[in-house]
Amino acid sequence: MYMNIEKAQVIILIYLDNAATTFPKPEEVYESVMEAMKSYGANPGRSGHKLALQMGRQVYTTRELLAELFNVTNPMNIIFTSNCTDSLNIVIKGLLKQGDHVITTSMEHNSVLRPLYMLKDRGVEVTVVKADSMGRINPEDIKKEIRKNTKLIVTTHISNLTGTILPIEEIGKIAKEKGIYYLVDAAQSAGVYDIDVEKMNIDFLAFPGHKGLLGPQGTGGLYIKEGIEIEEIKQGGTGSFSHILQQPHIYPDRFESGTLNGPGIVGLGAGVSYIKRIGMENIRKHEQDLTRHFMEEVLKIDKVKVYGPLDISQHAPVVAINIGEADSSEIIYILDEKYNIAVRPGLHCAPLAHKTIGTFEQGVVRFSFGPFNTHEDIEMSIKAIKEISLEL
Ligand SMILES: Cc1ncc(COP(=O)(O)O)c(C=O)c1O
């Protein structure tokens, strides 16, 4: 819960839309962005004067923090992007060529599905492995779909609809055995769940900076395993090799043309430092406790349907519900207007996932919890859902 002081009017707002972007952020994130903008807001990697060098050093510090978090040996293999969508597009479009085959799942976000379907029209073969009604994927179903020309497997780590945690380590093992690249969409897991690119055989890790990593919007990143050749989808100034007309192939410059979001990246670094200080396992435990509390209580309410696994060890802090047959947009309107509770309705950019769990027409009301939510937030939400369910 947080206080929003607007025009001398105090609104108590309960923000439960952390799967879209986390809010609020830790104080040090706000402070570091402000400091970067006010004290050394120069262009990193350009110019070579003191301020540019300071911004460059800070950007590198964030690269190092992220590399450490995901067990990446060389921080230069982490590319900064503007969001997770950007990172996913870089791999999907930079790797797949006409005649290649790619396997994905029915639980993916449109940031995976749309680039793949665009490439499908250009001769890339796409297989979508169907999840069960809880959003669970059986790695054996992925294995069965492997062909001679399968180049890439791409799956989400956690469904942004049902909160289902996918077995990425097992899928990574299959990919490695078969010599296929594995791209993981860590949009809902980075900063909350353990990710080790070595142990999990992840070749590409796409992640947003603005969700679990607690950085500002407009930040994201991509890990590319050393030695894998992918073509950059954007060319331009990198501040390096300026005398040549071709894109340099060194990392991270190859994929970072144009001015970076320096202050945003500094804020992302502050977000990662915060997570390290508090302990990712403590943040995860807090969010799991909130999820358990919410699920236990919401399941007691007549008319409420909860989607995704009921076992909390398989369920991230993203909970999809419906109240009777009511349209999800109507519910969130009441939650927002009457109770000042912010959640997300509709299809959550995951149409195939909705088809998988049978909510394509109705949509769902998605509650997603962050590190700053409290058990009081949960109680107030449950009270609101109870009242709405009686009125409908
Ligand atoms: C599973 C998943 N993948 C990708 C994305 C896209 O992330 P971004 O908004 O940072 O591009 C989201 C956003 O909600 C998501 O939930």
Rounded to the nearest whole angstrom, what is the distance from the C-alpha of residue 189 to the centroid of ligand 1? 11
Rounded to the nearest whole angstrom, what is the distance from the C-alpha of residue 277 to the centroid of ligand 1? 25
Q: Which amino acid is at 283?
A: I
pLDDT of residue 10 exceeding 80, the answer is: no
Rounded to the nearest whole angstrom, what is the distance from the C-alpha of residue 171 to the centroid of ligand 1? 20
Instruction: Choose which residue among 84, 222, 343 to substitute to test ligand 1 binding: the one with the highest number of ligand atoms within 8 A of its C-beta.
Output: 84
Query: Looking at the chain, how many residues does it have?
Result: 392
Q: Which amino acid is at 336?
A: D
Q: How confident is the model at residue 343 (pLDDT cuts 50, 70, 90)?
A: very high
* Contact call for residues 308 and 320 (beta carbons, < 8 A): yes
Q: How confident is the model at residue 9 (pLDDT cuts 50, 70, 90)?
A: low
Rounded to the nearest whole angstrom, what is the distance from the C-alpha of residue 111 to the centroid of ligand 1? 7
Name 173's Cβ contacts closer than 8 Å, sequence gap at least 6: 201
109 lines ligand 1 (CB under 6 A): yes
Among 207, 194, 140, which residue's Cα sits nearest to residue 170? 140
pLDDT of residue 234 exceeding 50, the answer is: yes
Per the rule left: phi > 0, alpha: psi between -120 and 50, beta: everything else, 363 is left
Specify the pairing of strand 78-81 against strand 101-105: unpaired
Q: Given this model, what pLDDT does residue 12 score?
A: 62
Q: Which atom of ligand 1 is least distant from the CA of 88?
A: 4
Q: Given this model, what pLDDT does residue 348 score?
A: 83
pLDDT of residue 14 exceeding 60, the answer is: yes
Instruction: Choose which residue among 82, 113, 160, 366 to substitute to test ligand 1 binding: the one with the highest number of ligand atoms within 8 A of its C-beta.
Output: 160
Q: Given this model, what pLDDT does residue 347 score?
A: 84
Q: Residues 294, 297, 300, 301: what is their CA dihedral angle, to the nearest 10 degrees? A: -70
Q: Given this model, what pLDDT does residue 1 score?
A: 54
Q: In angstroms, rounded to a whole number, what is the distance separating the alpha carbons of residues 88 and 150?
A: 18
DSSP helix/strand/coil, 319 = strand
108 lines ligand 1 (CB under 6 A): no
Question: What phi and psi values does residue 47 have, to the nearest 5 degrees?
Answer: 70, -50
Rounded to the nearest whole angstrom, what is the distance from the C-alpha of residue 87 to the centroid of ligand 1? 10
Q: In angstroms, rounded to a whole number, what is the distance separating the alpha carbons of residues 389 and 392?
A: 5
Q: In angstroms, rounded to a whole number, what is the distance separating the alpha carbons of residues 241 and 196?
A: 33
Q: What is the residue with the minimal CA distance to atom 15 of ligand 1?
A: 187
Q: What is the residue with the minimal CA distance to atom 14 of ligand 1?
A: 20
Query: Can you give the pTM of this predicted structure?
Result: 0.96
Q: Given this model, what pLDDT does residue 48 score?
A: 86
Q: In angstroms, rounded to a whole number, what is the distance separating the alpha carbons of residues 169 and 156?
A: 12
**Sheet (strand 9-15) strand order:** 2-6, 9-15, 341-342
187 lines ligand 1 (CB under 6 A): yes
Rounded to the nearest whole angstrom, what is the distance from the C-alpha of residue 244 to the centroid of ligand 1? 35
Among 30, 36, 66, 76, which residue's Cα sits nearest to residue 52? 36
Model confidence pLDDT, tens digit, residues 25-37: 999 999 999 999 9
Name 387's Cβ contacts closer than 8 Å, sequence gap at least 6: none
188 lines ligand 1 (CB under 6 A): yes
Alpha helices in the chain (DSSP H): 27-39, 50-69, 84-95, 110-120, 139-144, 168-178, 262-278, 280-298, 328-339, 351-357, 375-391
- The mean pLDDT value of the chain amounts to 95
Rounded to the nearest whole angstrom, what is the distance from the C-alpha of residue 21 to the centroid of ligand 1? 9
Rounded to the nearest whole angstrom, what is the distance from the C-alpha of residue 133 to the centroid of ligand 1? 21
Q: What is the residue with the minimal CA distance to atom 7 of ligand 1?
A: 84
Model confidence pLDDT, tens digit, residues 260-302: 999 999 999 999 999 999 999 999 999 999 999 999 999 999 9
Q: In angstroms, rounded to a whole number, what is the distance separating the alpha carbons of residues 125 and 48?
A: 46
Model confidence pLDDT, tens digit, residues 48-99: 899 999 999 999 999 999 999 999 999 999 999 999 999 999 999 999 999 9
* Maximal C-alpha separation, the chain: 70
Q: How confident is the model at residue 239 (pLDDT cuts 50, 70, 90)?
A: confident
